Every structure is written in structure tokens, then in C-alpha cells.
């Protein structure tokens, strides 16, 4: 079709272009259009330039900027498809970029001009050479080498920060690696010291944004540790191992499987060979806490319970040095983590002893994680307390624990708001729905079940299929479960239809991403089919 059209168009177009009068008439119009386009491009570029200046001046006031300006800033930072992002998500992405930008500007501003000092050092070296004072020449040239290397490394670091602002993690990694390696002639240990510092840039980026920032941070820290003698440079080696474990643990929590988490456990255990309780008690406690986090994540994925008691032990060891009187906020962190490990154990064991211990741990954490002092951590502990109370309430005949769980989730939502932390807000709405559903199954009437439906539907405002498909599917499945309970209470077949719709939607995702949940959804769909047979 296209070829036939070209064959048809070519002869008359050739004839027109050969017509002098036609060209004289057409050319000015073409130039006018082209110049108009160029004028528009120049005006647009000028406007962008003005807005870019505004970027630096107004990064602390993003909430006051109109939507179109936010989208323009996002495009300058190369945030993908900013026009498709919800307001809260766009603002959150720009806020993270603003943090990066400030660090980047600090690096740029810190690039001091030491050319004059280098010239003075070289001049002094020339004078020493004239005197045949070779020792002084070596000392002066070594200082020149150090200063020149430092300036070049700082420039590479600034370029790496600039690359990260644009999402170019591999370029940043290459620059930072080159900067670290450049110090080998100055001090054989210095490249590892630099890798420890430079890795934090990649780690911070990886924590805030998608991509391979964390993996590159792990790579740069691993190389730094490999290049050291663990006995001769024990503290630096242990620091690199601890950092490596932190990056691997976060990667492991984001990925399926257990390989990264196992590597994280190994890294933390290596770090503890040098970071001993007697020598550096607070660093030892921090690493024990990190080890506990990796063991807990492993234990939650493995079928047995061996890892979970190890996590509990690691947190309890951390609490030997992270005491309430000495480091109250760290103590609260370890108590909260201990509560999570006890809760995970309690959900797998019979009885309620572990669950009661988990409640105690979360309540201890709340002594220091207060709403006024650290509102988001306070909300975290309230949410976790709600989880423990819900698990307890499901095992007890009384409904008091379930009502306490509802209260805890509603408290968490005071600080975990939709605008502030949308995914945490959605998670807590989902947890609240679970508690209300459990209450509704025991109480007469359907009021609690209606509240549960509302909570799940609120959660789905942020738990979208595109954004967090597995959490979306779990919430869909929970909605189906509520409607199944509705049918059991009311006999209304419309609830069976709704239950089936939600569970089928969940099953499509579970079949791809979570086979274990797929089996559960299939069983629930079979229950719906059985009820249809009975009701029919």
C-alpha cells in the first residue's frame, strides 16, 4: 500500500518541484513555518531555562508549585512519564530528587581551587631538586600527587552525583570505581576507604528509586572488602561487610528466593568476627540487629522455624548494648524488630505465648517511639501491635483483642496518611480490613463486614495492579472472602458473584507470582461453587 502510494505521488511531485514559479511561492512559506517552529522552540527553551533556575530556589517549596511546573521539573530530572503519576507520587519522586540535588550541589560547591597550592608545591620541589635534596623532593611530589588525586576524585564524585540525578547508575558506578582506584598510588588501603564512602551514594539512590543502585552498592563494597586484609584493617573490613550485608538484605527482601538473604547473613556474621561486643559494643549491637533482620526475612520465606529463633536471639543480643537508658531510639528499634520475629514465630506455633511476648515487645517500643517524637515510627509500632493483637484475637474466643487491633490500626492511620506515605497507609487499611472481617465473622449483623469492605476498597486506591500487583491481588482476595462471609450471613447470591469476581482477579496474579496463594484462592473458589450448589 505504501509503495503504491509513493509510486502514484512521485511523478506529480517531481513536476511541481521542477516548476520555478511554484518553488518561489512555496519556499517563503516553508521558511516562515520553519522559523515559526524555531521561534517556538527557542521560547520553550527559554521557559525551561527559567524553570530550571526555579528548581534550585524552590526545592524546599515543592508543595507550592502548580502541577505543570512539577511535571517540568520531573522531566528535567528524567523521571519517567511524570504526566501519568498521581499528585502524591509525583511530589514524592521530586522530594527524593531534591534530597539528591542538595548533596550534588554540596559536592559541586566543595570543588575548591587548589591549583595555586599545587603550583607552590611543584615550585618547592624544583628548588629542592636544585639542592639535590631528593627526600624533600619525594615528600613534596607525594603531596602534589595526593592533592591532584583528591581533586580528580572529587570531580568524579560530583559527576557521579550528576549521573544519579539523571538515573544513570552504571555511569555513576564507573566514575566512583575509577575515583576509588585512583588512590592506589597514594595509599594501598585508601581505595577501600573510598569504596566504603562512595558505596553509600549508590545505596541511598537504590533505597529511594528503582533500578540497580543497591546491586552496584553491594558490588563496590564487596570489592572494597576483598582488597583488604581482614586482620590488618579489621575495622574497615568489618564496616564494608556490614554495609554489604545491608544492601544484600534489602535486595533479598525485594526479590523472590533466599539467595541474597543467605549472602546477607554471611556478610553480617563475617563483620561480627571483628566488631566484637567488648571492643565496639554499639557497632556490635547494630550488626546483631542487622543480622536479625536478615534472619527474620529468611525465616518468613522458609517453611521451617529454625531461622526465626535465631532472629529472636540476634535481637536479644543487640538489646544487651542497645539499652533504653543508653540509646533509647535504637532500643525501641530492636524491641520492634524483636516483636516482629516473635509474631512470625507465634503464627507458626500453637498457643499464644509467643504472640503475648510480641505484644509486650511492641508496647515497650512505644515507650520511646512516641507520636510526638517520631510519628512515623510510632505508627509503625502501632500497626505491628495491631498485627499481634489480631493474631491473638483469632486464637481466643473473646473479641477483646480484635477490637484492640482495630484501635491500633486506626491510631497508626493518624500518622500513616494517604498523602504522606500512600503504600503504608494502604497496608494499614488492608490490616484494618482483616481485623474488621474477623470481628464481623463473630458478631451478629453485617456492620463490621461493611466496614471491612470499605477498608479494603480504600487500600486499593494505592494498591493498584500496575504498582504492587501481589498486594493488589491479596486485597482482592480478602474482598472476596468478606463477600463470602456476607453470603453465609445473608444468603444473598449477589455476594457470591462478587466474591467470585474478586477471587478470580486475584488468582490471575497468584498463578504468575505466588503459587502458594493460588492454591488458597482455588480452594476458596471451590467453596463458592459448593455454596452455589447448596443455594441452588
Count of domains in the chain?
Answer: 2
Cell numbers that stand for 434 in this block: 482483616
Asked whether residue 156 is assigned to any structural domain, the reply reads: yes
CA distance 245 to 221: 10
CA distance 385 to 394: 14
Mean pLDDT of 270-281: 97
Q: What is the 3-state secondary structure (H, E, C) of 218-263?
A: HHHHHHHHHCCCCCCCHHHHHHHHHHHHHHHHHHHHHCCCCHHHHH
Note the pLDDT of residue 45.
43
Cell numbers that stand for 499 in this block: 466474591
Q: Which of 252, 291, 296 is nearest to 275 (CA)?
A: 291
* Eight-class DSSP state of 154: H
Cell numbers that stand for 148 in this block: 591532584
Q: Which residue has the higher pLDDT, 462 or 55?
A: 462
Asked whether residue 515 is assigned to any structural domain, the reply reads: yes
Note the pLDDT of residue 514.
83
Distances (CA, A) of 280 to 316, 332, 333: 17, 20, 19
Asked whether residue 293 is assigned to any structural domain, the reply reads: no
Q: Which of 231, 303, 310 is nearest to 268 (CA)?
A: 310
Using the 3D structure, point to which of 143, 166, 189 is the last residue of a domain.
166
User: What's the pLDDT tens digit per position in 135-144?
Assistant: 776 776 677 6
Cell numbers that stand for 309 in this block: 529463633
Note the pLDDT of residue 374.
97
Cell numbers that stand for 389 in this block: 493483637
Note the pLDDT of residue 117.
63
Cell numbers that stand for 483 in this block: 463477600
Q: Which residue has the higher pLDDT, 85 or 330?
A: 330
Note the pLDDT of residue 170.
96
Asked whether residue 521 is assigned to any structural domain, the reply reads: yes
Note the pLDDT of residue 446.
95
CA distance 296 to 344: 8
User: Is a pLDDT exceeding 60 seen at residue 431?
Assistant: yes
CA distance 287 to 530: 52
CA distance 335 to 358: 9
Ramachandran angles phi, psi of 392, nearest 5°: -65, -50
Ramachandran angles phi, psi of 229, nearest 5°: -85, 115
User: Is a pLDDT exceeding 80 seen at residue 58?
Assistant: no
Specify the length of the chain in residues.
Answer: 536
User: What's the pLDDT tens digit per position in 152-161?
Assistant: 888 898 899 8
Percent of the chain with pLDDT over 70: 82
pTM here?
0.77
Distances (CA, A) of 113 to 102, 147, 151: 21, 11, 9
Q: Which residue's entry shows cell 579489621?
A: 234
Asked whether residue 427 is assigned to any structural domain, the reply reads: no
Note the pLDDT of residue 52.
44
Residue 497 lies in domain: 463-535
Lowest mean pLDDT among 76-85, 161-170, 179-188, 372-381: 76-85
Q: Which residue's entry shows cell 515487645?
A: 361
Helices 2-17 and 20-58, packing angle to 10 deg: 110
**How many angstroms from the chain centroid is the CA of residue 263?**
20
Asked whether residue 476 is assigned to any structural domain, the reply reads: yes
Helices 375-395 and 400-415, packing angle to 10 deg: 160
Note the pLDDT of residue 148.
77
User: Is a pLDDT exceeding 50 seen at residue 88?
Assistant: yes
User: Is a pLDDT exceeding 70 seen at residue 115?
Assistant: no
Rounded to a whole number of angstroms, the distance between the first and last alpha carbons of the chain is 58
Is the CB of residue 440 less than 8 Å from the CB of residue 466? no
User: What's the pLDDT tens digit per position in 208-239?
Assistant: 887 899 999 999 999 999 999 988 999 999 99
Q: Which of 382, 481, 488 is nearest to 438 (CA)?
A: 481
Asked whether residue 83 is assigned to any structural domain, the reply reads: yes
Q: Which of 314, 227, 323, 336 is nearest to 268 (CA)?
A: 314
Cell numbers that stand for 157 in this block: 564524585
Asked whether residue 179 is assigned to any structural domain, the reply reads: no
User: Is a pLDDT exceeding 80 seen at residue 99?
Assistant: no
Using the 3D structure, point to which of 122, 148, 166 is the last residue of a domain.
166
**How many angstroms from the chain centroid is the CA of residue 206?**
7
Residue 110 confidence class, pLDDT cut points 50, 70, 90: low
CA distance 419 to 428: 14
Note the pLDDT of residue 35.
46
CA distance 348 to 468: 26
Q: Which residue has the higher pLDDT, 174 or 55?
A: 174
User: What's the pLDDT tens digit per position in 361-375?
Assistant: 999 999 999 999 999
Q: Which residue's entry shows cell 548533596?
A: 103
Distances (CA, A) of 95 to 54, 69, 80, 234, 493: 15, 14, 15, 38, 48
User: Is a pLDDT exceeding 70 seen at residue 519?
Assistant: yes
Distances (CA, A) of 108 to 104, 151, 199, 208, 321: 6, 12, 19, 22, 40
CA distance 41 to 43: 5
Other CB atoms within a 10 A radius of the CB of residue 260 amount to 24
Note the pLDDT of residue 154.
86
User: Is a pLDDT exceeding 60 seen at residue 56?
Assistant: no
CA angle 408, 411, 415 (to 5 degrees): 135
Using the 3D structure, point to which of 166, 192, 217 is the last residue of a domain.
166
Amino acid at each position: 500500500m505504501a509503495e503504491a502510494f509513493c509510486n502514484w505521488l512521485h511523478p506529480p511531485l517531481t513536476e511541481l518541484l521542477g516548476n520555478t514559479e511554484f518553488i518561489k511561492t512555496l519556499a517563503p512559506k516553508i521558511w516562515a513555518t520553519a522559523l515559526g517552529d524555531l521561534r517556538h522552540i527557542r521560547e520553550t527553551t527559554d521557559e525551561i531555562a527559567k524553570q530550571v533556575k526555579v528548581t534550585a530556589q524552590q526545592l524546599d517549596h515543592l508543595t507550592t508549585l502548580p502541577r505543570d511546573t512539577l511535571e517540568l521539573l520531573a522531566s528535567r530530572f528524567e523521571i519517567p512519564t511524570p504526566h501519568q503519576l498521581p499528585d502524591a507520587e509525583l511530589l514524592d519522586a521530586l522530594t527524593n530528587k531534591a534530597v539528591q540535588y542538595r548533596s550534588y550541589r554540596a559536592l559541586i560547591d566543595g570543588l575548591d581551587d587548589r591549583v595555586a597550592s599545587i603550583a607552590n608545591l611543584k615550585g618547592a620541589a624544583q628548588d629542592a631538586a636544585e639542592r639535590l635534596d631528593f627526600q624533600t623532593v619525594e615528600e613534596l611530589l607525594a603531596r602534589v600527587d595526593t592533592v591532584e588525586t583528591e581533586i580528580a576524585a572529587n570531580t568524579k564524585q560530583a559527576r557521579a552525583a550528576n549521573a544519579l540525578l539523571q538515573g544513570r547508575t552504571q555511569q555513576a558506578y564507573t566514575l566512583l570505581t575509577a575515583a576509588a582506584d585512583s588512590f592506589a598510588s597514594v595509599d594501598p588501603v585508601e581505595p577501600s576507604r573510598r569504596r566504603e564512602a562512595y558505596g553509600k551514594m549508590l545505596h541511598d539512590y537504590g533505597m529511594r528509586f528503582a533500578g540497580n543502585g543497591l546491586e552496584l552498592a553491594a558490588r563496590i563494597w564487596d570489592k572494597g572488602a576483598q582488597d583488604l586484609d581482614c586482620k590488618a584493617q579489621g575495622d574497615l573490613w568489618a564496616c564494608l561487610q556490614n554495609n554489604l550485608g545491608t544492601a544484600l538484605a534489602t535486595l533479598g527482601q525485594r526479590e523472590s528466593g533466599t539467595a541474597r538473604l543467605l549472602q546477607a547473613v554471611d556478610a553480617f556474621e563475617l563483620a561480627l568476627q571483628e566488631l566484637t561486643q567488648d571492643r565496639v559494643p554499639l557497632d556490635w549491637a547494630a550488626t546483631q540487629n542487622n543480622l536479625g533482620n536478615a534472619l527474620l526475612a529468611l525465616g518468613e520465606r522458609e517453611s521451617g522455624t529454625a531461622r526465626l529463633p535465631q532472629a529472636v536471639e540476634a535481637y536479644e543480643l543487640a538489646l544487651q548494648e542497645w539499652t533504653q537508658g543508653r540509646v533509647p531510639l535504637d532500643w525501641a528499634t530492636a524491641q520492634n524488630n524483636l516483636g516482629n520475629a516473635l509474631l512470625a514465630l507465634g503464627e507458626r506455633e500453637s498457643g499464644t505465648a509467643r504472640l503475648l511476648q510480641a505484644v509486650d515487645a511492641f508496647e515497650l517500643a512505644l515507650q520511646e517511639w512516641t507520636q510526638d517524637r517520631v510519628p512515623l515510627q510510632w505508627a509503625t509500632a502501632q500497626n505491628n501491635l495491631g498485627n499481634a493483637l489480631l493474631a491473638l484475637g483469632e486464637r481466643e474466643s473473646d473479641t477483646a483483642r480484635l477490637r484492640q487491633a482495630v484501635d491500633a490500626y486506626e491510631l497508626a492511620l493518624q500518622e500513616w496518611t494517604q498523602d504522606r506515605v500512600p503504600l503504608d497507609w494502604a497496608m494499614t487499611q488492608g490490616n484494618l480490613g482483616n481485623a474488621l472481617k474477623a470481628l464481623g465473622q463473630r458478631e451478629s449483623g453485617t456492620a463490621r463486614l461493611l466496614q471491612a469492605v470499605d477498608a479494603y476498597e480504600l487500600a486499593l486506591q494505592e494498591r493498584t495492579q500496575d504498582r504492587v500487583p501481589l498486594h493488589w491481588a491479596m486485597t482482592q482476595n480478602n474482598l472476596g472472602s468478606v463477600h463470602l462471609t456476607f453470603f453465609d450471613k445473608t444468603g444473598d447470591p449477589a455476594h457470591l458473584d462478587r466474591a467470585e469476581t474478586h477471587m478470580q482477579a486475584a488468582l490471575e496474579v497468584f498463578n504468575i507470582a505466588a503459587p502458594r496463594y493460588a492454591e488458597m484462592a482455588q480452594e476458596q473458589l471451590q467453596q463458592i461453587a459448593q455454596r452455589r450448589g447448596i443455594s441452588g
